[in-house]
Structure 1
Amino acid sequence: MKIFISHSSRNKDYGNLLVELLRNLGIKEDEIIFTSNVAYGIPVGQNIFHWLKSQIEEKPFVIYLLSEQYYESIACLNEMGAAWIIENDHAAIFTPDFDLSSKEFQSGALDPREIGFYIYDEERVLSFIQLLSDSFKLSNNTVLISQSVKKFITEIGKVISGLKLNQQHSRVPITPKREKIETVVAETISKAEPVQIEKGNLYSKFLGLIRVNKLKVDELLLLHYIIDTSKVKLMTGWQEEQEVSNITEWEKINDIKDILSKNYPGVLNRFELRGFTEVSAVTSHGNPKEITIKNEIASKILDLPNDVTLKIETIVKDNFYEHPDEVEEDDGLPF
């Protein structure tokens, strides 16, 4: 039996780390099919489509590495359809920015009700390894497995960080309302001191990243949530669903789009990578269940500089739900 990693070539960095993890667990080279790496890909002289078809027909264990790019690829969707028809055993792993509510995923061949997991979720990765052990001979060295998983999570974090730094931020179309807000922000910033990010000064780094637009929309919405609710401790791990539920209610009450509740795990991961948070509570097994905004930031977060506050408020205003003005029906009466 083999493991077939069905993926978009644009997500090969994640795929390569999955292959490395599998090899460290004891999976043999000839038990892995990963077409983005020649060592695990299509043999020389083989027809790509015929070869892949033959491999899928042999009923490998399929890892679907799902992303927006995956659903944009006809080749990937063909792989998914072929494997689904043959009813291969499989697992769905989501890239960090994958939207589980997307139409493509909800209406695709895979049942969205089946449990999948985000690639950076350490506890789910361990559960996934347990699933693999039912079909493959894995290492019995628990220390080696633990070290391999921790290394995997660390390397995934580096890939996420690198992708975020390389992304170009698209500009939202300017409306008269937004233009007025941006003018106020620009005027405030022009009067402020030049942005300086002092080495070793976390609060200065925090302010600097906001001022130069390095934080994503969902990160700024999380800051607004923290400020609005005056809570600097956030639930994670097995308590994550409760925090997401709290955020969802907060979004409904404030009529804010559900960007934060959908992306909460990814936002926490980015905050951790930026050094904004630290673990404040763990489970009996030593897994994080609560994180806290570091004191250098938390002690000042309710009294941020005006230009930084305006940037956050601008993002919040851009992400309110818009409701058409209600017009009273004319009942024909003169009064």
Structure 2
Amino acid sequence: MNLFISHSSRNANYGNALVELLIGIGISADDIIFSSNDAFGIPIGQNIFNWLRTKISEKPYVLYLLSPEYYKSVACLNEMGAAWIIESSHTMIFTPNFDLRSYDFQNGALDPREIGFYINNENKLLAFIESLKTSFSITNNSVLINQKVKQFISVIKPFFQIETSLSKNASEVNEKQVSIANIEMQPIIKKETITNRIISVSPNRSRFYSDLINDKLKDEELLLAKYIIDTDKFKLGTGWQESNEISNIKAWEDVHELSNVLSNSYNGTIRRLDMKKLTEVSAFTSFGNPKEISFVDEFKHELLDPSDELNEKLKEVIEKHKRNESLDF
């Protein structure tokens, strides 16, 4: 049986630590499917949607790494729905900042009455490992298991400390924005002045955001943003891997019944984002040529937590590029 870790790419740090724990207690690396790590992810040349569909249909043991980011990801919710339909064995694991009372969790595909556990709960982790023994080959060395669990807890501890700090900072920024928005101004200059003042208290905004506010984004750039949000992919193929990425984009366009605007202009769109300093090379070939790009942190955050302005623009561009007739599948 394979073990599939369904997660948001924004929680890849927790997922990587979890993979190391599972391997450390005896589970074969070949049995683990974890798309945020190339060693456990989608093979080169495979279509992401078809590959995941095949793996899920094989009824793997699913670990749902649930977080606020998970429920904001269309790709994650699709994975959850597919796995739920085939009734895979599964376990729910919650990141420390996840609220079990959230509407999305209480009304989602997974039964909120099932027992899950928070990822930083040492005793629950030990009980979880014991339960895996019915499906996987786990070491019987209890001392080793305890060591691996303690090591795991120490590795992930900084993750939620950083999340707490970022959440606090975000709240402070929101308070400043509300304060600025309430300042009384003359009607003629009110909109422009408020916008400029809000940007000034948010220095980490990307060029993408400023172009969005000033209505300077091309349709292809907005469609690429929607593709990234839907697929939860923040690393894209370039160079010799560009054709694979374009194939994935075409599959996404087919699913959403969109014209091929993005797939036909992918190379130019990536080059425009590069000129705006929104991308960076994240992997090279053995000859030193780029084969993968990732996005700068500011741009990632704007897509992971899209503003009302961005959501509105994405709706408009999707409607604009809908095909005239539906596709038959």
Query: TM-score when scaled to structure 2?
Result: 0.52
Instruction: State the partner residue of 1:69.
Output: 69
Mapped pair 1:39 → 2:39: yes
User: What SS class does the counterpart of residue 69 from structure 2 fall into?
Assistant: helix
TM-score normalised according to structure 1 size: 0.51
CA distance in 1, matches of 2:166, 2:114: 33
Paired residue for 1:3?
3
User: SS of the residue aligned with 1:12?
Assistant: helix
> Which aligned pairs between 1:77-226 and structure 2 lie closer than 5 A?
77-167=77-167, 168-171=169-172, 173=175
> How far has the Cα of 1:164 moved from its partner?
3.3
Deviations 1:159-196 (A, max 9, x none): 222333445242364899xxxxxxxxxxxxxxxxxxxx
Aligned to 1:29: 29
Flag structure 2 segments of 5+ consecutive residues without an equivalent: 180-329
Deviation at 1:135, TM superposition (A): 0.3
Q: CA deviation at 1:3?
A: 0.4
The superposition leaves residues 96-150 of structure 1 with CA deviations (integer Å, 9 ceiling, x where unpaired) of 1111111100000000000011100011101110111110011111111110001
1:228 matched to which residue of 2?
Answer: none
Deviation at 1:158, TM superposition (A): 2.0
Aligned length: 177
In 2, distance between residues paired with 1:12 and 1:169? 21
The one-letter amino acid paired with 1:129 is I
Distance in 1 between residues matched to 2:41 and 2:109, nearest whole Å: 25
The DSSP-based 3-state class of the residue aligned with 1:65 is strand
| Residue-by-residue CA offset, 1:176-226 (whole Å, 9 max, x unaligned) | 9xxxxxxxxxxxxxxxxxxxxxxxxxxxxxxxxxxxxxxxxxxxxxxxxxx
Which residues of structure 1 form unaligned runs of 5+? 177-335
Equivalents in 1 of 2:99, 2:163: separation in Å?
Answer: 17
Within-5 A mapping of 1:271-310: none
Q: Secondary structure at the match of 1:170?
A: helix
Q: Distance in 2 between matches of 1:63 and 1:85?
A: 15
Q: Deviations over 1:64-100 (max 9, x none)?
A: 0001110000000000000000000000000111111
**Counterpart of 1:68 in 2: which secondary structure?**
coil
Tell me the CA shift for residue 62 of structure 1: 0.1
- How far is 1:156 from its partner? 1.3
- Once residues 64 and 46 of structure 1 are traced to their aligned partners in structure 2, the CA distance between those partners, rounded to angstroms, is 23
Q: Percent identity?
A: 59
